[in-house]
Structure 1
Amino acid sequence: MLIRDATGEDWPAIWPFLHDIVAAGETYTLPRDLREQDARALWYQKPPGRTVVAVDESGTVLGSAKVCPNQQGPGAHVANASFMVDPARSGRGVGRALGAHVLEWARATGYRAMQFNSVVETNTHAVALWKSLGFTVLGTVPEAFHHPVHGYVGLHVMHQAL
Structure 2
Amino acid sequence: MLIRDATAADWPAILPIFTAVVEAGETYAYPAGLSSAEAEALWFGQPRVVVAEDEGVVVGSATTGPNRPGRGAHVGTASFMVAEAARGRGVGRALGEHVLARSREAGFRAVQFNAVVETNVGAVHLWQSLGFRIVGTVPEAFESRSHGLVGLHVMHRFLR
TM-score range, shorter chain: over 0.9
Q: 2:125 aligns with which of 113, 125, 128?
A: 128
TM-score, length of structure 1 as denominator length? 0.95
The 5 Å alignment of 1:96-115 reads 96-115=93-112
User: Structure 2-normalised TM-score?
Assistant: 0.97
> How far apart, in 1, do the equivalents of 2:30 and 2:54 lie?
28
What secondary structure is seen at the aligned counterpart in 2 of 1:111? Answer: coil
Distance 2:146 2:93 in 1: 26
Letter in 1 for 2:66: P
Distance 2:68 2:25 in 1: 25
Question: Is 1:54 matched up with 2:52?
Answer: yes
Structure 2 distance, partners of 1:45, 1:4, is 17
1:149 matched to which residue of 2?
146
Q: Give the AA of the match of 1:5.
A: D
Partner residue, 2:27:
27
CA distance in 1, matches of 2:45, 2:6: 10
Tell me the percent identity: 62
How far apart are 1:45 and its partner, in Å? Answer: 4.0
In 2, the alpha carbon distance for the partners of 1:159 and 1:34 equals 29
Any unmatched runs of 5+ in structure 2? none
TM-fit CA distance, 1:30: 0.8
Give distance in 2, aligned partners of 1:147 and 1:45. 24
Q: Which runs of 5+ in 1 are unaligned?
A: none
Distance (Å, rounded) in 2 between the aligned partners of 1:23 and 1:62: 17
In structure 2, what is the Cα distance between the partners aligned to 1:40 and 1:92?
A: 26
Tell me how far apart the structure 2 counterparts of residues 34 and 121 of structure 1 sit (CA, whole Å).
24
Give yes or no for contact 1:24–1:32 (8 Å, CA) kept in 2. no
* Off by >4 Å, runs of 4+ in structure 1: none
Cα RMSD between the aligned structures?
A: 0.9
Equivalent pair of 1:17/1:86 in contact (CA under 8 Å):
yes
Q: Is the 8 A contact 1:45 1:68 kept in 2?
A: no
Aligned residues: 159
Q: Deviations over 1:21-46 (max 9, x none)?
A: 10111100111222211110111145
User: Which residue of structure 2 aligns with residue 10 of structure 1?
Assistant: 10
